[in-house]
Amino acid sequence: MTLVEAAATVRGNAYAPYSSFKVGAAIRAESGAVHLGVNVENAAYPEGTCAEAGAIAAMVAAGDRRIAEVAVIADAPRPVPPCGGCRQKLAEFADGGVRVTLATTRGEVMVTTVADLLPGAFDARDMAE
């Protein structure tokens, strides 16, 4: 199963009763393990969770710390990029050259990188004294 297929499969588990906009994410860690996430909405907006954040949390909970590849899928007219917060979260655990595949349920695919999604990312080097 490809990373996009894994994201598409888990997307069905998303909890999106308010928007009906289900998103699935799959992260392959440098260890080779695949970690999945879905968006989880909440009646008290903006307390929901993005699919990418869920996949990152699953990765960290499993003991992995570095992302090797990402896939995100949604039922949208075009491939939907991660929100700004999730772009920063991805940059925390991935090098700029890490491949990010954005897909639609209709088969459209766009391939980009973490650096292209978040140029000039704030990172640990910016915290140095």
Catalytic residue among 30, 41, 47, 52: 52
Nearest to 110 by CA among 75, 73, 67, 83: 73
Task: For residue 52, indicate whether it is catalytic.
Answer: yes
pTM: 0.95
Q: What is the distance between the alpha carbons of residues 23 and 68, in angstroms, rounded to a whole number?
A: 20
- Residue 129 domain-assigned? no
What total number of domains does the chain contain? Answer: 1
Q: Return the closest-CA partner of residue 65 out of 115, 15, 29, 16.
A: 29
For residue 83, give its domain range.
3-118
pLDDT 10s digit of each residue in the chain, 129 long? 999 999 999 999 999 999 999 999 999 999 999 999 999 999 998 899 999 999 999 999 999 999 999 999 999 999 999 999 999 999 999 999 999 999 999 999 999 999 999 998 888 888 876
Q: Would residue 104 count as lying in a domain?
A: yes
Please report, for the domain that includes residue 31, its CATH number: 3.40.140.10
